[in-house]
Chains A and B, each alone.
Chain A
Amino acid sequence: KAGVTQTPRYLIKTRGQQVTLSCSPISGHRSVSWYQQTPGQGLQFLFEYFSETQRNKGNFPGRFSGRQFSNSRSEMNVSTLELGDSALYLCASSYRDPRSYNEQFFGPGTRLTVL
């Protein structure tokens, strides 16, 4: 079974631009979560989608948004990029309803560099 895929793997943008990252979950998984990883900060939770609905949101500004499509694929968008947005963005998918605990499977991430 194919794992979680994220595109693109690497991205370089300049301040003020916007960016869209894509995540394809494992087949059959309906829940997709997004995380930001920066050195020393670990993984910071951005948001979680289940059946096209945002179920949970972390403490990030409104410049960070996301959506999920009917095939469970998800995108996240960052508008008006800032230097501090440079990070590894990780997507994770899981099978069951997020109200019950279930293991999350992570993709390899998209490395975003903002110049």
Chain B
Amino acid sequence: DQQVKQNSPSLSVQEGRISILNCDYTNSMFDYFLWYKKYPAEGPTFLISISSIKDKNEDGRFTVFLNKSAKHLSLHIVPSQPGDSAVYFCAASLVSSGSARQLTFGSGTQLTVLP
């Protein structure tokens, strides 16, 4: 049972336009959400996060929106640049058994920004 879903395996966007990557989750116990970016042959790198007590967090060209009632979050990249082309993973965190936090990742969305 996938608790974090990224239903679009790929997305192509023109340079300068907005990229919107979506993520849905099923577990209402998740209280922290993150986006990671991954280039080929490299490990994922942290991009931006949001706590469940907020509905928006902005960092430069990147904004994450959280809709708790819909159990949905999205990452907006404006303006999109060719260097943004990568796989984007959505992740959700909760305190699991033993009081340890655990990250659950989605399957990723390949973003291609066309020049």
Q: Which residues of A contact B (CB under 8 A)?
A: 4, 33, 35, 40-45, 48, 50, 55-56, 90, 92, 98-101, 103-109
B96 at the interface (CB under 8 A from A): yes
Which of B12-20, B56-64, B69-77, B98-106 lies at the binding interface?
B98-106
Beta-carbon contact of B46 and A108 below 8 Å: no
Q: Which residue of A lies closest to B36 (CB)?
A: A106
Alpha-carbon distance between A45 and B4 when the two chains are bound, in angstroms: 13
Q: Given A90-B43, A105-B46, A106-B45, A98–B107 Cβ distance below 8 Å?
A: no
Which chain B residues numbered 92 to 115 have a C-beta less than 8 Å away from chain A?
93, 95-108
In the complex the two chains form, is A43's CB within 8 Å of B44's CB? yes
Given A42-B108, A56-B98, A99-B95, A104 contacting B45 (CB threshold 8 A): no
Size bin of chain B's contact surface: 20 to 34
- In angstroms, Cα B45 to Cα A33, docked, is 15
Across the interface, do A108 and B101 meet the contact criterion of CB distance under 8 Å? Answer: no
